[in-house]
């Protein structure tokens, strides 16, 4: 076990709301009771002012660091960033990461039991938005006795949540780190999400969302394959796979999986079905499609007037899903309001996935930013 790991961690649960006193969603529908599964790393200081909220991306969850048992082969999804002496230094900060509502890793979502029927929600689960996810996180943060977050950080869809926090609860966010994200999805990104959802809903095993057991594995695998392509850069694909064949350099002249890139995507799709729920994929991608700061808060320049957090924006040179141009749009809007903001584009061949796989540069940036927060933002 990594000596700089947070070690063994145990997920915790927080429940709020009820059938009689539910959470009211942006759609007008209600949800209750709501259960949130979360993990914490490090220790709170006396006034809990060292709390940092970590927000996960589409396929992530609350398990951001450490292990669940001594024989666990898989660490948390951002273990390289969270721990003693790491970018998110657990000797200094108290880290919190919660599974979003609508997810499938313990927080209330379509796989959860509907208390009104005693059966899984399935498609009777209401549509949730990024704002609803943040509202649920706010209930958890209140429950933990945190009045103001030292910082909040997230990449991709996690960045959506960071932005929503900074706009919805400006006085509760001291600093914010939005990584490989944007103020809204592009039409191209929405198109890819649509293809993924279509692959799931056209799988005969989907059964209008009321599947039992394995469900629409082929559809979910295809959705993941499509999505995964958007996380990688053309440069990385060419370097890692090119036109290499899986076996001998000989064409089979049939429709079997021949190219190395095909085998890689097949593996990614198949592995994903073992850890994710198809209905959750539908709900989460729809929430991402709906996220649009301008629609909710007005043009960016006007929307960011209320932001009080010291902000850090990070983009990656080869990320075509959330390109640097989208990040700069937000940075310019904050600067036009005289807001304290830092921006850096990291040169990387890894595409959108760079914030997860190439952490050395990001670690230095995050460490420096967090150390500067006390001097740059009034308490």
Catalogue the active-site residues. 156, 319, 352
- Distance in angstroms (rounded) separating the CA atoms of residues 368 and 179: 15
Q: Angle at CA 133, nearest 5°, toward 191 and 183? A: 50
Asked if 276 contacts 111 with a C-beta cutoff of 8 angstroms, the reply is: no
Phi and psi based region of residue 10 (left: phi greater than 0; alpha: psi -120 to 50; beta: remaining): beta
Instruction: Give 289's contacts (C-beta < 8 A, 6+ positions apart).
Output: 185, 190, 193, 194
Asked if 281 contacts 220 with a C-beta cutoff of 8 angstroms, the reply is: yes
Asked if 81 contacts 314 with a C-beta cutoff of 8 angstroms, the reply is: no
- Helical ranges in 232-307 per DSSP H: 234-240, 260-273, 278-290, 293-297, 300-303
- Distance in angstroms (rounded) separating the CA atoms of residues 108 and 121: 10
């Amino acid at each position: 076990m990594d000596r700089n790991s947070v070690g063994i961690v145990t997920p915790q649960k927080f429940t709020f709301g009820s059938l009689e006193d539910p959470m009211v969603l942006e759609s007008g529908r209600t949800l209750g009771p709501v259960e949130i599964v979360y993990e914490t790393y490090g220790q709170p200081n006396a006034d809990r002012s060292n709390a940092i909220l970590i927000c996960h991306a589409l396929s992530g969850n609350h398990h951001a660091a450490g292990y669940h048992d001594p024989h666990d082969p898989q660490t948390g999804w951002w273990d390289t960033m969270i721990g003693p002496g790491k970018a998110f230094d657990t000797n200094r900060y108290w880290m919190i990461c919660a599974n979003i509502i609508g997810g499938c890793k313990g927080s209330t979502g379509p796989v959860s039991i509907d208390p009104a029927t005693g059966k899984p929600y399935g498609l009777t689960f209401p549509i949730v938005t990024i704002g609803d996810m943040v509202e649920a996180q706010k209930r958890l943060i209140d429950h933990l006795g945190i009045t103001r977050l030292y910082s909040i950080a997230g990449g991709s869809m996690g960045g959506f949540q960071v932005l929503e926090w900074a706009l919805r609860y400006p006085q509760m966010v001291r600093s914010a780190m939005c990584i490989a994200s944007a103020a809204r999805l592009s039409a191209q990104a929405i198109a890819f999400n649509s293809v993924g959802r279509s692959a799931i809903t056209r799988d005969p095993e989907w059964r209008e969302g009321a599947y039992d057991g394995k469900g629409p594995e082929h559809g979910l695998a295809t959705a993941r394959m499509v999505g995964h392509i958007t996380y990688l850069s053309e440069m990385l694909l060419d370097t890692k796979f090119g036109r290499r064949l899986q076996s001998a350099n000989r064409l089979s002249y049939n429709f079997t999986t021949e190219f190395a890139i095909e085998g890689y995507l097949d593996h990614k799709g198949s592995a994903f079905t073992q850890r994710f729920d198809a209905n959750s994929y539908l709900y989460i991608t729809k929430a991402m499609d709906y996220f649009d700061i301008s629609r909710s808060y007005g043009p960016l320049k006007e929307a960011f007037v209320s932001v009080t957090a010291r902000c850090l924006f990070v983009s990656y040179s080869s990320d075509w899903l959330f390109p640097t141009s989208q990040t700069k749009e937000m940075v310019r809007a904050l600067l036009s309001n005289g807001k304290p903001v830092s921006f850096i584009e990291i040169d990387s061949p890894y595409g959108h996935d760079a914030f997860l796989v190439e952490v050395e540069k990001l670690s230095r940036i995050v460490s420096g930013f967090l150390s500067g927060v006390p001097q740059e933002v009034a308490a």
